[in-house]
Amino acid sequence: MLKVGTDMQKFLNVKEMHRLLYGYNGFVIFTLMAFMCLTQERIYQAMTARAFLESAGAVPPASDVIFFTTTVAFVLFILVGYFYRKSQRRHVRYCLFAAEIIICMFLMRFLNLSYDGIVLLVVADLMYKYEGHRQEYTLLVAMICLYFIANYNMAIFQTKIISFEAYASYYNADAKAVILAIKNTFYSLNIVCFVFYLVLLVKNKHEEKERIRLLNEKLEEANQRLRAYAIEVEQMAETRERNRLAREIHDTLGHALTGIAAGLDACIMTLEIAPEVTKQQLNKIRDAAKKGITDVRRSVKKLRPDDLERLPFQQALMEMTRNYSESSGMEITFDIFSWSDNLRQDQEDVIYRVLQESITNAKRHGHATKVKITIGGNEKYLLIVIADNGEGCDEVKQGFGLKHMRERLELLHGTIHYWSDEGFIVEAMIPLNREVDNDKSFDS
Amino acid sequence: MRKKILAATCIAVIIFAMMYQARSQVTLTIGIFAGSNWNVPQGETYAIINEVRKNFEAENPGVRVKYVSGIKKEDYSEWLAEKFIAGSEPDVFFVLAEDFNLYASIGALMNLENLIAADESFSSDVYYTSALNFGKYENISYALPCESNLTFMFVNKTLLAKENIALPKNNWTWKDFSEICRKVTRDTDGDGIVDQFGCYDYSWQQAAISNGVKFFRDDGKTSYFADSRMEEAIKFLMELRGLNKGFEVSPKDFDVGRVAFRPFTFAHYRTYKPYPWKIKKYSSFEWDCVKMPAGSSGGNISAMDSLLVAISSRTRNKDLAWALLKKICYDKTTQQLILKKSQALPVRRDVITSVEAQEIFSWDSNETAAIATIDISSAMDEAIMPFKFKNYNSAMLYADTEIHKIITGIVPLNNALNKLQKEINAQLQH
């Protein structure tokens, strides 16, 4: 916060310098104008008008006209400059800048081109607002153009211009030297101010960039912390899930199995003595086992993703990818060539998880922006290809995710292949209509 | 907010009303100097301009014409320059010949070409070419002539009669001129001092012009002083000077009637010929004027000076100013008035050739005035226009000094004119 504060202070300095530049130019213009007006008055009174006209080579406007036009033009110049700096819209800004140049030309004309420092004021305004990449070139071109305009101005008005020397020549040689020296000092001082202003401006812009860079660094740091936190949260969720699973198993399967084991113990005891009772008892045990199976089923159901429960499978897939795409900004497209309608629940689960894992990998490891999912096959097998445009990797390290995918697919006698091309590609194949080992499935 | 708008509207209305008021009563100013442009006494200085003013105001209701009176000719140049610097110069003003180039070059005068082209009631053909061109700068008209003046040779008729010499004809030549001068130049009272002379104030410029010399190229960048006709003119002047046997002629000699010839302008003739000036000056002898003597390669021609009138380029009433300018320089009534009241010549050809003009030019009906035989109109046609480019005055001043040295024999003629031409060209080209 402290740093931002000092930066603001420096920015204010540039503004102050800009104001100073305006103020100084106003002062110089007013002084030169007053000098010309007063000289004209003196010439008028000293009866040397004819000689002055001869050396001037043009008819000067009357003093009051000079005063009025110059003042009005300078006020206009300030206003246009102000609106130029304030304006947000580009076209308006261009128009205002053009107006500023025109007023600058007129102002120089009114001052008989004796002071072209005002051109620098225009450049200062241009620099103040301009924030492009090629700032230096723009400045250079603008300067050249403006000086060209100034000289062109001079060429147009050549015949109608009274040189400052003609005014200065009215006074004696000593006074003339002093007057010319003062005028040159005015000009030089203006250049010094201008250069100082530019230095401030460049420094200011540099500092601003530095500040932005620092802020970016902080942001990155915060991001990283957030990511770590997310991983932590994920792990906690996993632990919690595991505990829940353990509880579930303990409550349902453990309960049923304990009951069954106890019942069976009783049966062993009564088998010889009372086979009828044992038979009844075994029936009860079977019921308990069936109930256990139902409980387990219910538990497994609880573990399934919500979408899979709620929606038809294909829609659930769409929903999942759409959600992910929305949250991650990754573009996910589907190409479904063929589809098997009678997928078993376990097959659906595996497909769902494979897609979910692949998309997550594409984002997390490949930093992909686009993922294309293609699903096809025939009545014997289903083929799923997930291709992303991410970074890929030369040597695929089989992490937890890939390993799990492989394990899940192997349960269904499926296969998985993955490789890097233009991004990362995962290809999963699941055989259809094949009897799977019922032991490994809860399906009956 | 509404009040502010109301106030702004009121102010705007008042300003408009004031502007309208100002518009409805237009005032045009004329810049004019007192007295004659031709260095001769003039009685009713503002008679002509007052008449112009009266007529113009009658023709243009709501327009007032005013001028500042009492500005002497020698102060006029400075007065006008001061008015220009103060931004309050007259709309229409007389321009002295020496000021014309300055004002034309600094853009103070309105370019008349478009006005002339657009105005069907105006034709520049009525003017004599030399007079019209006098108001041009770099071939653009910036001013119109209002009156012109020609140079003639005054002849002391009494002196010639005394010496039994016939009055020269209007087509006389240098040969006739120098012969008469030779005859009259002598010591009349026998005190060994020559006290009767041939001519006074006959300048090398006048000699050169009547010998067909053109001093400068039109753009004023090159001079032609090394022309052989120039050399002839110089030699002729040296010859005339030789006749005086080293005695200098003074203006007093002419005034008391001891000089046969002296070049004078038409304005002088008009001023001193009739009453009352006739009594005041040159009363001891009868005089008349003839055309300038012709050089061997030229003719009986002289330079014609014109008084110019221009419009300020900053005038707010361009059309009215043009109308006023035309009233002064183009209007036939005004030109006839100039013929009657001014000592100089009007610039309109039809006024010069009118019957009234002929009567005025020869009002001494009892004597056979030589001027009556001069065809003024053709003299104005033949007359050459004086140069007036920017460095003309300084170049001419320099040339005058150098040529004076040649004529008085300080510098030998040999190659002097070539050298002079080179030096003047160098000056002109800088």
Cross-chain residue pair B87–A62, CB shorter than 8 Å? yes
pLDDT score, position A155? 65
pLDDT score, position A441? 41
Instruction: Give the residue, A295 or A195, on which the prediction is more confident.
Output: A195
The strand pair at B92-95 and B304-311 is best described as antiparallel
Q: Structure tokens of B160? A: 């010639």
Please state the length of chain B.
Answer: 430
pLDDT score, position A3? 47
Cross-chain residue pair A63–B81, CB shorter than 8 Å? no
- Residue B78 forms contact with A (CB below 8 Å): yes
Cross-chain residue pair B107–A160, CB shorter than 8 Å? yes
pLDDT score, position B25? 78
- Residue B81 forms contact with A (CB below 8 Å): yes
- Residue B102 forms contact with A (CB below 8 Å): yes
Query: If contacts are CB pairs under 8 Å, which of residues 156-185 in chain A contact chain B?
Result: 159-160
Q: Quick check: A293 pLDDT over 90?
A: no
Nearest CA to CA, how far is B50 from chain A (Å)? 28
> How many residue pairs from chains A and B have C-beta atoms closer than 8 A?
54
Residues B159 and A367: their CA atoms lie apart, in Å, by 126
The predicted-structure confidence for B129-149, as pLDDT tens digits, reads as follows 889 999 998 889 999 999 999
Q: Quick check: A224 pLDDT over 90?
A: yes
Chain A contact set for B78 (CB, 8 A): 47, 49-50
The predicted-structure confidence for B49-89, as pLDDT tens digits, reads as follows 999 999 999 999 889 999 988 899 889 999 999 999 888 89
Q: Quick check: A318 pLDDT over 90?
A: no
The predicted-structure confidence for A376-422, as pLDDT tens digits, reads as follows 888 888 899 999 888 877 777 777 778 878 888 888 888 888 888 88
Q: Quick check: B366 pLDDT over 50?
A: no
pLDDT score, position A248? 75
| Residue B429 dihedral angles phi and psi, to the nearest 5° | -80, -5
Q: Quick check: A94 pLDDT over 70?
A: yes
pTM as predicted: 0.67
Sorting pLDDT into bands at 50, 70 and 90, what band is B92? very high
Beta bridge partner(s), residue B67 = B30
CA dist A55 → A38, A415, B35, B103 (Å):
18, 102, 29, 12
Chain B contact set for A43 (CB, 8 A): 82, 85
Nearest CA to CA, how far is A53 from chain B (Å)? 7
Q: Quick check: A230 pLDDT over 60?
A: yes
CA dist A88 → A84, A166, A409 (Å):
9, 45, 59
Beta bridge partner(s), residue A383 = A376, A429
- Residue A77 forms contact with B (CB below 8 Å): no
Closest CA to B288 of B268, B318, B305: B268
Residues B98 and A51: their CA atoms lie apart, in Å, by 13
Q: Quick check: A7 pLDDT over 60?
A: no
Closest CA to A57 of B105, B219, B99: B105
Determine if residue B277 is left, alpha or beta; phi over 0 gives left, psi from -120 to 50 gives alpha, anything else beta. alpha
Partner residue opposite A62 with nearest CB, options B86, B103, B107:
B86
Burial classification of residue B43, based on how many CB atoms lie within 10 Å of its CB (0-12 exposed, 13-18 middle, 19 or more buried): exposed
Partner residue opposite A44 with nearest CB, options B86, B105, B106:
B86
- Residue A110 forms contact with B (CB below 8 Å): no
pLDDT score, position B372? 60
Closest CA to A195 of A93, A137, A117: A117
Q: Quick check: A4 pLDDT over 60?
A: no
pLDDT-above-70 percentage for chain B: 93
Chain B contact set for A54 (CB, 8 A): 102
The identity of residue B380, as a single letter, is M
Residues A65 and B199: their CA atoms lie apart, in Å, by 56
**B2-148+305-361: which CATH topology?**
D-Maltodextrin-Binding Protein; domain 2 (3.40.190)
Chain A contact set for B77 (CB, 8 A): 50
- Residue B84 forms contact with A (CB below 8 Å): yes
Cross-chain residue pair B82–A49, CB shorter than 8 Å? yes
Cross-chain residue pair B81–A50, CB shorter than 8 Å? yes
Chain A contact set for B394 (CB, 8 A): none
Q: Quick check: B110 pLDDT over 50?
A: yes
Helix-strand-coil percent breakdown of chain A, rounded to 5? 75, 10, 20
- Residue A137 forms contact with B (CB below 8 Å): no
CATH pick for B150-303+376-428 out of 3.40.50.720, 1.10.1660.10, 3.30.70.980, 3.40.190.10: 3.40.190.10
Partner residue opposite A49 with nearest CB, options B78, B105, B313:
B78
pLDDT score, position B341? 84
Closest CA to B200 of B169, B156, B144: B156
* H or E, element range at A51: helix A49-56
* Cβ neighbours around B314 below 10 Å, total: 18
- Residue A68 forms contact with B (CB below 8 Å): no
- Residue A53 forms contact with B (CB below 8 Å): yes
Chain A contact set for B80 (CB, 8 A): 50
What is the rounded average pLDDT for all residues in chain A? 82
Q: Quick check: A232 pLDDT over 50?
A: yes
Residues B104 and B102: their CA atoms lie apart, in Å, by 6
Residues B397 and B410: their CA atoms lie apart, in Å, by 17
The predicted-structure confidence for B18-50, as pLDDT tens digits, reads as follows 766 655 678 999 999 988 888 887 777 788 899
Cross-chain residue pair A43–B85, CB shorter than 8 Å? yes
Nearest CA to CA, how far is A15 from chain B (Å)? 33
The CA radius of gyration of chain A, in Å to the nearest whole number, is 44
Long-range contacts of A12-16, Cβ-Cβ distance < 8 Å, separation of 24 or more: A13/A200, A13/A204, A14/A128, A14/A197, A14/A200, A14/A201, A14/A204
Sorting pLDDT into bands at 50, 70 and 90, what band is A439? very low
pLDDT score, position A334? 86
The predicted-structure confidence for B46-58, as pLDDT tens digits, reads as follows 888 999 999 999 9
**Average pLDDT, integer, range A158-170:** 78
Task: Spell out the SS3 assignment of chain B.
Answer: CHHHHHHHHHHHHHHHHHHHHHHHCEEEEEECCECCCCCCCCCCCCHHHHHHHHHHHHHCCCEEEEECCCCEHHHHHHHHHHHHHHCCCCCEEEECHHHHHHHHHCCCECCCHHHHHHCCCCCHHHECHHHHHHCEECCEECEEEEEEEEEEEEEEHHHHHHCCCCCCCCCCEHHHHHHHHHHHCECCCCCCCCCEEEECCCCHHHHHHHCCCCCECCCCCCECCCCHHHHHHHHHHHHHHHHCCCCCCCHHHHHCCCEEEEEEEHHHHHHHCCCCHHHHCCCCCCEEEECCCECCCCCCCCEEEEEEEEEECCCCCHHHHHHHHHHHHCCHHHHHHHHHHCCCEECEHHHHCCHHHHHHHCCCCCCCCHHHHCCHHHHHHHCECCCCCCCHHHHHHHHHHHHHHHHCCCCCCCCHHHHHHHHHHHHHCC
Nearest CA to CA, how far is B178 from chain A (Å)? 43
Please name the residue of chain A whose CA is at the shortest distance from the CA of residue B106. A58
Chain A contact set for B82 (CB, 8 A): 43-44, 47, 49
The predicted-structure confidence for B254-313, as pLDDT tens digits, reads as follows 888 889 999 988 888 888 776 556 666 777 788 888 889 999 888 898 888 899 999 999
Burial classification of residue B322, based on how many CB atoms lie within 10 Å of its CB (0-12 exposed, 13-18 middle, 19 or more buried): buried
Residue ranges of domains in chain B = 2-148+305-361, 150-303+376-428
pLDDT score, position A442? 40
Please name the residue of chain B whose CA is at the shortest distance from the CA of residue A65. B87
Whether the domain at B2-148+305-361 and the domain at B150-303+376-428 fall into the same CATH topology:
yes
Cross-chain residue pair A49–B81, CB shorter than 8 Å? yes
- Residue A191 forms contact with B (CB below 8 Å): no
What's the CA dihedral at A126, A130, A134, A137 to 10 degrees? 0
Cross-chain residue pair B82–A159, CB shorter than 8 Å? no
What is the rounded average pLDDT for all residues in chain B? 86
**Average pLDDT, integer, range A195-219:** 89
Sorting pLDDT into bands at 50, 70 and 90, what band is A72? very high
The predicted-structure confidence for B155-211, as pLDDT tens digits, reads as follows 888 889 888 998 888 889 999 999 999 999 988 888 888 889 999 989 999 999 999
* Cβ neighbours around B375 below 10 Å, total: 13
Residues A283 and B16: their CA atoms lie apart, in Å, by 118
Collapsing DSSP to helix, strand or coil, A179 comes out as helix
pLDDT score, position A434? 56
Cross-chain residue pair A53–B87, CB shorter than 8 Å? no
- Residue A52 forms contact with B (CB below 8 Å): yes
Query: If contacts are CB pairs under 8 Å, which of residues 123-152 in chain B contact chain A?
Result: none
Q: Quick check: A369 pLDDT over 90?
A: no
Chain A contact set for B107 (CB, 8 A): 58-59, 159-160
The predicted-structure confidence for A248-287, as pLDDT tens digits, reads as follows 777 777 777 888 888 888 888 888 888 888 888 888 888 8
Whether omega before B61 lies within 30 degrees of 0, making that bond cis, reads no
Query: What is the dotted CATH code of the domain comprising A306-440?
Result: 3.30.565.10
Q: Quick check: B90 pLDDT over 90?
A: yes
Whose tokens are 């062109």? That residue is A152
pLDDT score, position A444? 35
pLDDT score, position B31? 93
Cross-chain residue pair B84–A59, CB shorter than 8 Å? yes
* Cβ neighbours around A377 below 10 Å, total: 17
Sorting pLDDT into bands at 50, 70 and 90, what band is A438? very low
Cross-chain residue pair B108–A59, CB shorter than 8 Å? yes
CA dist A42 → A54, A98, A103, A110, B74 (Å):
16, 38, 29, 19, 21
* CB-based contacts of A348, cutoff 8 Å, min separation 6: A308, A313
What's the CA dihedral at A100, A101, A103, A104 to 10 degrees? 110
Collapsing DSSP to helix, strand or coil, A137 comes out as helix
Chosen for mutation from A39, A44, A50 (greatest number of chain B CBs closer than 10 Å) is A50
Chain B contact set for A69 (CB, 8 A): none
Q: Quick check: B364 pLDDT over 70?
A: no
Burial classification of residue A128, based on how many CB atoms lie within 10 Å of its CB (0-12 exposed, 13-18 middle, 19 or more buried): middle
- Residue A58 forms contact with B (CB below 8 Å): yes
Please name the residue of chain A whose CA is at the shortest distance from the CA of residue B102. A54
Cross-chain residue pair A57–B314, CB shorter than 8 Å? no
pLDDT score, position B405? 92
**Average pLDDT, integer, range A98-115:** 83
